[in-house]
Amino acid sequence: MAVTKLFGASIKRREDPRLMTGRANFTDDVRLPGMTSMAVLRSPHAHAKIVSIDTSAAKAMPGVVAVYTGADLIDDLAPVPCAWLVPNANLVIPEYRAVATDRVRFVGDAVAVVVAEDRYLAQDAADKIEVEYDVLPAVVDQEAATQDGAPQLYDNVPNNIAFHWELGGGDIDAAFADADVTISKRIVNQRLIPNPMETRGAVAAYNPGSGELTLWVTTQNPHVHRLLIALTTSTPESQVRIIAGDVGGGFGCKIPTYAGEMIACAIAKRLGRPVRWQEDRRENFVTTTHGRDHITQLEVAAKNDGTVTGIRVKTYASMGAHLSTAGPGVPTWLYALMLPGPYTIKNFHADVYGVLTNNTATDAYRGAGRPEATYLLERAMDLVARELKMDPVAVRSKNLVPAGEFPYTSAAGLLYDSGNYQGALAKALEVIDYAGFRAEQAKAREEGRLLGIGFSTYVEVCGLAPSAAAGAMGFQGGLWESAIVRFHPTGKVTVFTGTNSHGQGHKTTFAQVVADELGVPFEDVDIVHGDTQMVPMGMGTYGSRSLAVGGAAIVSASRMVVEKARTIAAHLMEVGVDDVTFDSGTFYVTGAPDKVKTIQEVALASYLAWNMPEGVTPGLEATYFYDPSNNVYPFGTHVCVVEVDKDTGQVAFKRYVAIDDVGYVVNPMIVDGQVHGGITQGLAQAVYESAVYDEAGQLLTGSLMDYAIPKAAMLPWFEVDRTETPSPTNVMGIKGAGETGTIASTPAVANAILDALAPYGVDHIDMPLTPQKIWRLIHEQKG
Amino acid sequence: MYPAAFDYAKPATVAEAVSLLSANPDAKILNGGHSLLPAMKLRLAQPAMLVDIGGISELKQVSVNGGATIGAAATYDDLLKHDGLKAHTALYEAMSKVGDVQVRNRGTVGGSAAHADPAADIPAALIALGAELVAVGPNGTRTIAADDFFVDILTTALEPDEVLTEIRIPASGASSAYEKFAHPASGYAVCGVAVALERDGEGTVTNARIAVTGSVYKATRCSAAEAAITGTKATAADIEAAAAVAADGLELAGDHYASAEYRGHLTKVLTKRALTRAAG
């Protein structure tokens, strides 16, 4: 690999001074002349018929511009779209309207919309709208929702089953028939609420003269938004401009196109005045998509020597009250393909029901399907170890794909690009001093203290690609990425990328890569993303794809620029192209290093165009669309050590070691930050976070006073290190780093707590492992 | 998160504040604002007027001289800088465990007492230390014992037109401690126990005050545990016996995060821990 000046350097993020000093430009910072504010009246019921809506008092209030119901907007907007049409699943997409017309199906469903001169007046007026509901029975448990007699959300979705999908590999029945031991366990992967720091928001402006619709919206994929807004608002796609500005976190929940921005667009077109909508935190909790929410019957087949021969799951996935943009893809492909994990498990089978329930829709949440699979698999490894009285590390070692077998085709048919799974495990064992810990644990147990250690050896699929695979999976888009690299006459460089940073630091990482490729100063490279008028095409940021796909596209475009510049330089130096060498921003004649042209000189010459080679066009820029041949597969081992307080059930984190392999690393500090954030969210699922609904469909954890996002003091010190196994898939040898921490940490933490509780014979507790649950088990075992 | 419209007044004296409250029955006092403002943003509270007592300098006075007198508008951060308050350990520890740095920079002991959140830390500490709360209203000044001050969820003995002006901690010589199990989201007490022990020269407990918050609907004394520890030498066995009855007679609260049974259990565990430290 060409390790150059900036590749591998922990450069401080160039984004941060602006973000930290309040100079960012989020959607809610947008102010336009004549702008109105929109408030949405939302259903307080999880399931009800709308009998009547009286908006007269609201309309009469001072400062109110307009009030709309679902009936008023029915012709303005197509239904809220679902764009992942999973094939062979009897998929039914029920019609979900941006503003409900006759029936509401979750708490937070939009019932009416007020547009006023300011946000306070809009809220005052929304409070004056009278809605009469006929409350219907609700169902929030996805397993119960499939039973005969359960409340039905839609007439055309019998038993609330939106899809039923299966995937398998090998011979699962034979695996169970030939097993020495089998394990069966019902495991819940609880619903989570993403909670980006910036809630969702939109400002829509329509120019009746030009017909142009501009939408400032907080999104991870502006071009997907452009397409779906064009289709749902009946606006030509060429007339729709999406501007993402700064995006304050996404974690997957800013992939979908939502009712909120669609409504703002429709009203802006009607009024000819800009409409601003910013979700408040309470709305965010109920209207922005949630994640996870599986009920699974897990079955494992194994041999007495610890070889795991089969994994079978029957999963009920809650989709919420409608199918969100990418919703159906998450508990199907993104989940089941990873069930064999980093192991040589030959046989697996997944049976998945996507179920509609009376709560907020689910969609991608950091890791999206892969954490759910990894959690089951890593719990399975510990359950097998417990059953066979083996060391959990020994069971993992027994089953890991050997380092010499890459590229390796998994039982699910994925081609794992490269790996050294044992290498990461060995490094983790060394850092944690595994033998020393087990001795300490034995001593602690004699003293009546509960120490535990948990492992997670994982692999994940990211850098999602190629487009043909996306098509086979029913995803209604490609998974390529575009890049434009443009020199200006002054030698400055602008890079346009279709990925869209929402906190990942693309303006830093991508500039490091480009500065190396072009041999120009880092400061001279500007990265542009998030505005569809500046970046013509793109697919966005999710699935840890930005560097692996978008970054690789940028490298290819940069190299095209260099090749064009080489042609011009050769012409200017009056030598053949083959005689010109490029190194660190300078073209020189091979063997005559004093005869040089800098790339900046060439850039200027290309725009002056006074003296161009025959057949070479003016200007110096290149466009490249990159469609990878494969995904990338980061892997590693995470280890957590905990102590459980027997009296209260509280968990104290003693150590957390993360050994990740994300291939070559451009900016180690940024990758460390991604890993820290990922571990935080994954650990939070294990012990803190849970979206809890009551039977009527009311969200009991609907605020940050109730929903426990951890503060720094609630986390362990992260001991982060890496191994480096380059991916052969892309030119940089990089894998993805955005989701590894979330995927790996949840089972590591749960396994650690359950290891601590082993003296009580406890082998599973559903997440989050709260003090109360832990205390209750200890208490019951004590009798 | 958009409050309804309200009027705002910032009086310079207690008397002015009292007359504003008397003239505006739907007015609310604004102190640190950390409980009231979130409720207003959710429109759960819609006061017609906020009377901001942050401009009344006398309410920020603190004096420590054996006992302590704390102005109702003194922030936690101000108070935690008074080393003299460390002698009133239960209160000092409770204050140090309230929320986070940002909350302690704005929040006040007076505000917490007057708001009477059933999961707040301060009420238990005030009860355990035998504090008195001073209120000024149209009819003058009165003093209310902490035992009588906390009436119910979000309800105190204060009249709507009274201003809580100061909190007095007596110079009892008690040794005290506060133990807390914090809710992972809110930081409020799932259970909090404050204890204060007075002992004679022989080490015998002559007076015990034990108060629990979080587990219950209002900060409440654990009379059974107080009776059990009084008259003992507070040995480990005595403490164990007292802790075992700490939840007796309490009306325990429960929710999806922590059931009444679990909170009752925590009450015992934290009583034991607080007594152990106070007796140590």
Is CATH 3.10.20.880 the classification given to domain B178-279?
no
Which residues, at least 6 apart from A465, have a Cβ–Cβ distance to it below 8 Å?
A479, A480, A545, A549, A627, A628, A629, A630, A631
Average pLDDT over residues A481-496: 98
Distance from CA of B65 to the nearest CA of A (A): 35
Asked whether residue A4 carries a pLDDT value surpassing 60, the answer given is no
Measured between beta carbons, which residues in chain B are less than 8 angstroms from residue A779?
Answer: 265
Rg (CA), chain A: 27
CB pairs under 8 A between A and B: 54
Tell me the domains of chain A and their CATH numbers: 18-136+197-249+254-287 (3.90.1170.50), 291-464+630-782 (3.30.365.10), 480-626 (3.30.365.10)
Distance of CA A606 to the CA centre of its chain: 41
**Coil/strand/helix, residue B196:** strand
| Sheet (strand A110-116) strand order | A64-69, A110-116, A36-42, A275-278, A201-207, A212-217, A240-243
- Average of per-residue pLDDT across A660-688: 98
Rg (CA), chain B: 19
Task: Report pLDDT for A464.
Answer: 87
3-state secondary structure of B225: helix
| Helix segments in A610-739, DSSP class H | 668-687
Tens digit of each residue's pLDDT (9 = 90 or more) over B100-140? 999 999 999 999 999 999 999 999 999 999 999 999 999 99
Nearest beta carbon to residue A705 from set B5, B186, B259: B186
Chain B residues near residue A123 by CB distance under 8 angstroms: 2, 43
Q: Could you tell me if A773 lies within 8 Å of chain B, comparing CB atoms?
A: no
Mean local confidence (pLDDT), A261-289: 97
Name the pLDDT band for A1 (thresholds 50, 70, 90): very low
Cβ neighbour number for residue A397 with a 10 Å cutoff: 16
Point out the residue among B5, B43, B259 whose CB comes nearest to the CB of A772: B259
CB of A779 closer than 8 Å to CB of A502: no
Q: What pLDDT is recorded for position A782?
A: 67
A161 pLDDT band (50/70/90 cuts)? very high
Cβ(B62)–Cβ(B19) below 8 Å: no
- Facing A708 at nearest CB: one of B100, B185, B255: B185
pLDDT by residue (tens digit) across B217-275? 999 999 999 999 999 999 999 999 999 999 999 999 999 999 999 999 999 999 999 99
* Distance of residue B35 Cα from the nearest chain A Cα, in angstroms: 11
Distance from C-alpha of B197 to C-alpha of A269, rounded to nearest angstrom:
71
Candidates A464, A444, A342, A454; CA nearest to A403 is A342
- Bridge partners, A212 (sequence order): A207
Give the span between the Cα atoms of B269 and B2, in whole angstroms: 41
Confidence of residue A80 (pLDDT cuts 50, 70, 90): very high
Q: Which residue of A has its CA nearest to B2?
A: A120
- Average pLDDT (A610-634) is 97
Residue A471 touches chain B, beta carbons under 8 Å: no
Contacts of A705 in chain B (CB under 8 A): 38, 185-186, 188
Confidence (pLDDT) at A362? 98
| Residue A225 CA: distances (Å) to CA of A78, A283, A505, A746 | 14, 21, 22, 31
DSSP A716: P
Quote the pLDDT of residue B72.
97
* Interface touch A282/B269, C-beta < 8 Å: no
Q: What is the pTM of this model?
A: 0.97
Chain B: closest CA distance from residue A94 (Å)? 32
Distance from CA of B186 to the nearest CA of A (A): 4
**Interchain pair A120, B5: CB under 8 A:** yes
Q: How much is the mean pLDDT over chain A?
A: 97
Range A672-696 average pLDDT: 98
The answer on pLDDT for A162 being more than 60 is yes
For tokens 């909090």, what's the residue? B192
Query: Hey, are the CB atoms on A124 and B4 less than 8 Å from each other?
Result: yes
Q: Which residues contact A681 (CB under 8 A, 6 or more apart)?
A: A251, A366, A741, A742, A745
Asked if A555 contacts A510 with a C-beta cutoff of 8 angstroms, the reply is no
List CB contacts of A783: < 8 A, sequence separation 6 or more.
Answer: none
CATH 3.40.190.10 fits domain B59-169 = no
pLDDT of the residue at A2:
42
Spatial contact of A454 and A437, defined as CB atoms under 8 Å apart:
no
Which residues does chain A have within 8 Å of residue B5's beta carbon, measured at their own beta carbons? Answer: 120, 124
Q: What is the pLDDT of residue A3?
A: 44
Task: Measure in Å the smallest separation between the Cα of B2 and chain A Cα atoms.
Answer: 6
Task: Say if the Cβ atoms of B184 and A714 lie within 8 Å.
Answer: yes
Q: Which pLDDT band holds residue A594 (cuts at 50, 70, 90)?
A: confident
Q: Do B265 and A704 touch (CB under 8 A)?
A: no
Q: For residue A592, what pLDDT is reported?
A: 86
The stretch B18-46 carries a mean pLDDT of: 94
Residue of B nearest to A706 (CA): B185
The CB density around residue A510, as the number of other CB atoms within 10 Å, is: 28
E-assigned strands of A377-492? 408-409, 415-416, 450-459, 481-487
Supply the CATH classification number for the domain B7-52: 3.30.43.10
List CB contacts (< 8 A) between A701 and chain B: 185
Q: Tell me how close the Cα of A82 comes to any Cα of chain B, in angstroms.
A: 30
- Give, in order, the Cα–Cα distances in Å from A31 to each of A222, A225, A272, A698: 20, 21, 16, 35
Q: Where are chain B's structural domains?
A: 7-52, 59-169, 178-279
> What rounded mean pLDDT belongs to chain B?
96
